[in-house]
Homo-oligomer: A and B are copies of this chain.
Amino acid sequence: MDYFSRQKNTNIRLTLPVVCFVWQIAMIILFGVFIRYDEESDTHWVETKAHDNITSDIENDFYFRYPSFQDVHVMIFVGFGFLMTFLKRYSFGAVGFNFLIASFGLQWALLMQGWFHSLDPQTGKIFIGVESLINADFCVAGCLIAYGAVLGKVSPVQLLVMTLFGVTLFAVEEYIILNLLHARDAGGSMVIHTFGGYYGLTISWVLYRPNLHQSKRMQGSVYHSDIFAMIGTLFLWMFWPSFNSAITDHGDGQHRAVINTYLCLASTVLTTVAISSLSQKTGKLDMVHIQNSTLAGGVALGTAAEFMISPYGALIVGFFCGIISTMGYIFISPFLEKTLKIQDTCGIHNLHAMPGVIGGIVGAITAAAASESVYGKLINTFDFTGDFKDRTVLTQGGYQAAGMCVSIVFGVVGGAIVGSILKLPIWGDPADENCFDDEVYWEVSEPESIPPILEYNNHMIHKQQDLSESNFSVEHCES
C-alpha cells in the first residue's frame, strides 16, 4: 500500500464516499420532485380500468415485459460484470465496479430519459413503469460498454463521472435518434452499442498510457478467470433475444425479434470458432474470441431484429459478424493500440463499436427494402403516424443511416470532452505499473495458491539460502 501511494495517490477514501453520498442524495431529491408510479403500477389501476375481472390485470404491461426485463437485468449485472472478469487479478474490479456504476447509472437514466421522453407537460412529472426500468438498464449498458475499454486503468471515481456524463449524452442522442429522426432501434445497435463503443474508445484514446507495458504481468488471464468470464458470455448470449425484444411491440414484434436474434447468434458462434481456429498454427481456439466475438451477432441485429429480415437474413448477419469481430481481435486491436494509441482492454471495438455500425447499416437497408407485401400495413412496425405519416420506407432508411451518424458523433465528441475531464489529476487513478490490479482499490485476501506445506517450503528455502550463501537478490523475485 505504501508502495503504491509513494508512486501515485490512489487514495479514494474522501472522493469516493463524497461522490456516492452527494449523488445518492441528489437522486432522492430529484426523484421526490419528478418521479411517480405510472398508471399501471398505481393502486388506482383497477379503478382506471373500471372493471375488476382478471382480464384487466393480465393486460397490465408488467406481464408483457417483466420476464424480458429480468433477462436484461441479468445481462447488465452478471453478463457485463462477469464478461470482464477474464483478467487474472481484476475480477473484483470487473464485477464490483460494474455493479456500482450500473446501480448509479440506472437512477440517473430514469431521470434523464424521463425528462426527454416522458415528462408529462401537465403535471411536470415522470411516470415510470416496467418499460422505464428496461430503458434505464439499456442506458446503463452503454456506459458499461465504455467501461470495457478502460477496464483496469481508471479509478471508481472516474467511472462514476464517466457514467454520469455517459447517461446524459445517451439520453440526448437517444432523443434525437428515436424521437426527432424517428429511427427505429429497439435493440440499440446504434443508440447503445455504437454510442457506447465510441464513447469508451475515445475516452481510452484521451487517457492513453504510453507506459502501460509496466503492468504487463497483470494483463492476460488465468485458467479460472477465463471460466468466470464464460459465465458472463453465456448469460449475455442466451438472454440477447430478450434484450432485442424487450421493448418491441407486443405480440408478433417481440416474437420475431426473439427468433431473429436467436438464429443470428447461433450463426455467429460457428464463424467465430472457424476464424479463431484459423488464426493459430495448430488450429487451437482462443478464449478471447469465444468470450467476445460470439456475441457480435446480437449487437448487429439490435436495429433489425424486429424487422422482417427473415430467418436466413438473420443467419447471414451472424455469419459475417462472427468473422469480422474475430478478425478485429486478431488484426484491428493491435493496430488500434500501436497506430492510433487506443488501448482497448476488452476489445469493445470488435464486440460493440464495429458490430453496432454494421447493425445500423443492416437496419437502414432492411428498412429501405421494406414493402407492404412483406410487412402488411407498415404502420405497425415503423410507426408511421402523426408527424411521420407521409414517410416512405426509403426515407426511413435514410433517417436510420442518419441516426447511426448521430450516435457516432455523440460517442466521439462526448468521449473527447469527458476524457479530458478524466485526465485531471484529482481522480485517484492508478500508476501504469499498478493497472489491472485489484490490490489498488480492494482489500484482497492472501493468494489462495499457497497451501500450508508450501509456506513451509518458503520457510525452508530461506534457511537454506543463508546456508548456501546464495547471491539471490530481490530483482529475481520481481520477475
Contact = CB atoms under 8 A, between A and B. Distances in A.
Interface stretch (A12-20, A185-193, A388-396): A12-20
A366 to B, nearest CB: 13
Interface stretch (A271-279, A328-336, A356-364): A271-279
A270 B103 contact: yes
Contact of A282 (B5, B267, B447): B5
Contacts of A184: none
A137 B88 CA distance: 34
Contacts of A254: 62, 66
Copies of this chain, whole number: 3
Interface string A253-274: 0111011001101110111011
Contacts of A228: 227
A91 interface: yes
A128 B251 CA distance: 15
A13 B281 contact: yes
A319 interface: yes
Interface string A57-94: 11111111011101101100110010001001101100
B1 A282 contact: yes
Nearest to A73: B238
A175 interface: no
Contacts of A458: 453-454, 457
Interface string A205-245: 00000000000010011111111101100110111011000
Interface in A320-340: none
A214 B43 CA distance: 56
A32 interface: yes
B222 A24 contact: no
Interface stretch (A165-173, A373-381, A406-414, A417-425): A373-381
B64 A67 contact: no
Interface string A17-43: 100110111011101100111001111
Contacts of A120: none
Nearest to A39: B252
Interface range on chain A (Cβ under 8 Å from partner):
35 or more
Main secondary structure, interface of A, reads: helix
A74 B77 CA distance: 15
A121 interface: no
Interface stretch (A195-203, A347-355, A397-405, A437-445): A437-445
Contacts of A100: 269-270, 273
Contacts of A41: 252, 255-256, 258-259
Given A63-B63, A255-B60, A468-B464, A286 B238 contact: no
A43 B376 contact: yes
A308 interface: yes
A287 interface: yes
A449 B452 contact: no
B269 A129 contact: no
B472 A42 contact: no
Given A11-B283, A24-B270, A227-B228, A308 B43 contact: yes
A251 B242 CA distance: 22
B20 A274 contact: yes
A118 interface: no
Shortest Cβ-Cβ A-B pairs, 9 listed: A13-B283, A222-B448, A45-B252, A57-B251, A103-B269, A20-B274, A41-B255, A449-B449, A32-B312
